[in-house]
């Protein structure tokens, strides 16, 4: 499996492996308020949602990553066609950007 680490800002795109275009369409930072009736089951927290699109071999798709504070579940891996995309980091310092690892999956 070949992998590349890339950094993308909001509304920017890149071509990886000479054939896959990835674009960050939005980065949204959020706070999660605790449930006033059951803050133990639904505590306060924070998170970020990253909206992306991809184009490969004339096909396109959209996908979403969520990176949330504990105890909430994050969704940081997306598999599509011959690729896997993993959200590694999101930065809000200055201009928002994401760091992704894009892997080309081996065909069996």
Instruction: Summarize pLDDT for 35-48 with one digit per residue, the tens.
Output: 999 988 889 999 99
CA distance 99 to 78: 14
Number of domains in the chain: 1
Q: Give the C-alpha distances (Å, rounded to integers) separating 14 from 4, 35, 68, 72, 83.
A: 12, 40, 25, 30, 15
The answer as to whether 40 is a domain residue is no
Closest CA to 105 of 75, 79, 86: 79
What pTM was computed for the model?
0.90
Confidence label for 107 from pLDDT (cuts 50, 70 and 90): low
Angle at 80 between CA 4 and CA 47, to 5 degrees: 75
- Can you give the pLDDT at residue 93? 74
Confidence label for 50 from pLDDT (cuts 50, 70 and 90): very high
The answer as to whether 39 is a domain residue is no
The answer as to whether 22 is a domain residue is yes
- Can you give the pLDDT at residue 67? 96
The answer as to whether 15 is a domain residue is yes
**Domain at 74, CATH number:** 2.60.98.10
Q: Residue 108 pLDDT > 60, yes or no? A: no
- The percentage of the chain sitting over the pLDDT mark of 70, rounded to a whole number, equals 98
Confidence label for 34 from pLDDT (cuts 50, 70 and 90): very high
């Amino acid at each position: 499996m070949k992998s590349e680490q890339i950094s993308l800002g909001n509304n920017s795109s890149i071509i990886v492996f000479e054939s896959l275009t990835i674009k960050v369409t939005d980065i949204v930072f959020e706070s999660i308020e605790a449930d006033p009736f059951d803050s133990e089951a639904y505590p306060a927290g924070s998170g970020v949602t990253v909206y992306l699109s991809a184009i490969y071999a004339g096909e396109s798709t959209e996908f979403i990553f969520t990176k949330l504070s504990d105890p909430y579940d994050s969704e940081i891996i997306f598999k599509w066609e011959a690729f896997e995309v993993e959200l590694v980091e999101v930065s809000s310092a200055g201009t928002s950007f994401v760091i992704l690892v894009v892997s080309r999956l081996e065909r069996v």
